[in-house]
Amino acid sequence: MIRIISILTGLFFTAALLWSLTLDTIQLSKDGLPHTVEKAYVNHHLKDLKLKSDGIFGKFDKAQLKRGFEVYQGVCASCHSMGQVSYRSLAALGYSETEVKAIAAKATVSAKDPLTGEIKDRPGQPSDKFPKVIYAGVGNPPDLSLITKARHGGAAYVYSLLTGYEAQQPAALLKEFPDAKTGENMHYNPYFANLNIAMAPPLASDDLVTYTDGTKATKDQMAQDVAAFLVWTAEPELEQRHQTGLWWVLFMLFATVLGYMSYRNIWAEKKGH
Ligand code: HEC
């Protein structure tokens, strides 16, 4: 009796689930998905970007992070802040204490004078965070510290955006959505959420920086390196997390084997008597 009731209950819920699924499908096919610029023309297939920090065994490529920092400093820092990052943390990229001090000292930080309590400008120190950038152009450049976490696709998005500008808008797009026409001081970029971005292509030519490790600074190289660097700024403890994860997997495997062995042991005794 109980078995029949439970089978019936199960059947009832399965039927209810199927019913609601069918209703949803019918509804969707009737309405159709809304046809928007977003759906039709924004390129959601990001370019492929392989980084050494990918995957559960991933580790940062310090040389690449350092190059990425050089791109940030040389190109992006005139518009974008990076307020979550402190100069001190650059040591993780392989900079010595003296180098960190020198990098920090080039910045001007406004901070409280410890003696008078006045807010004053002074050269940066390793313990300071990167100061806020004052920007007076078109649009509003976001702080880049956490951008690879804040955008779907992370580093691949940043890389695609930086290398994805196009000079011409597709004719079909303009015909279908005349409002999507790139306005004055705007730039067409099919990876950007509404296709037209206020940021002019920041990596429009090669050799905008001179890499200290001698790597040729092509547009593509700079885009990859700065994307890799922004993965680090968003999650400097990524390697740590990967390592902890690995230990967890090993521990769980060990616990499973142990569990299985004790199960065998208990039943072996029961069978023996
Ligand atoms: C001349 C100023 C300027 C420079 C230089 C610049 N940007 Fe931008 N950036 C902007 C502005 C303005 C926006 C906001 C665009 C908008 O909302 O339309 C922006 C937006 C962005 C975004 C966010 C896009 C989004 O999804 O919201 C990213 C990522 C970005 N920039 C990365 C960079 C990187 C990396 C560099 C250096 C290689 C750089 N930018 C150099 C001005 C600049």
The mean per-residue pLDDT over the stretch 225-239 comes to 96
Distance 189 CA to ligand 1 centre (A): 12
Burial 26-57 (b: 16+ CB within 10 A, else e): eeeeeeeeeeebeeebeeeebbebebebeeee
Mutate to test the pocket of ligand 1, among 43, 72, 199 (most ligand atoms within 8 A of CB): 199
Task: Convert the pLDDT of each residue in 74-114 to its tens digit.
Answer: 999 999 999 999 999 999 999 999 999 999 999 999 988 88
Residue 227 Cβ < 6 Å to ligand 1: no
The mean per-residue pLDDT over the stretch 212-241 comes to 96
Domain boundaries, the chain: 40-85+129-236, 243-273
CA-nearest residue, atom 21 of ligand 1: 141
Nearest atom in ligand 1 to the alpha carbon of residue 147 is 29
In this prediction the pTM is: 0.84
Mutate to test the pocket of ligand 1, among 65, 72, 75, 79 (most ligand atoms within 8 A of CB): 79
Query: Which residue in 39, 37, 43 sits closest to 178, CA to CA?
Result: 37
Which amino acid does the sequence have at 255? A
Find all residues with CB under 8 Å of 87, minimum gap 6, and list them. 100, 103, 104, 107, 124, 125, 126, 127, 128, 129, 130
Task: Convert the pLDDT of each residue in 111-142 to its tens digit.
Answer: 888 889 999 999 999 999 999 999 999 999 99
Residue 198 Cβ < 6 Å to ligand 1: yes
Q: How far, in Å, are 60, 80, 239 from residue 52 at the CA level?
A: 6, 25, 11
Nearest atom in ligand 1 to the alpha carbon of residue 161 is 29
Q: Is the CB of residue 198 less than 8 Å from the CB of residue 138?
A: yes
Identify the CATH class of 40-85+129-236.
mainly alpha
Residue 202 Cβ < 6 Å to ligand 1: yes
Q: What is the pLDDT of residue 26?
A: 82
Residue 141 Cβ < 6 Å to ligand 1: yes
Q: What is the pLDDT of residue 273?
A: 55
Q: Check whether 270 has a pLDDT greater than 80.
A: no
Residue 218 Cβ < 6 Å to ligand 1: no
Task: Convert the pLDDT of each residue in 8-44 to its tens digit.
Answer: 999 999 999 999 888 888 877 776 677 888 888 999 9
Distance CA 83, CA 144 (A): 8
Q: What is the pLDDT of residue 272?
A: 60
Nearest atom in ligand 1 to the alpha carbon of residue 203 is 38
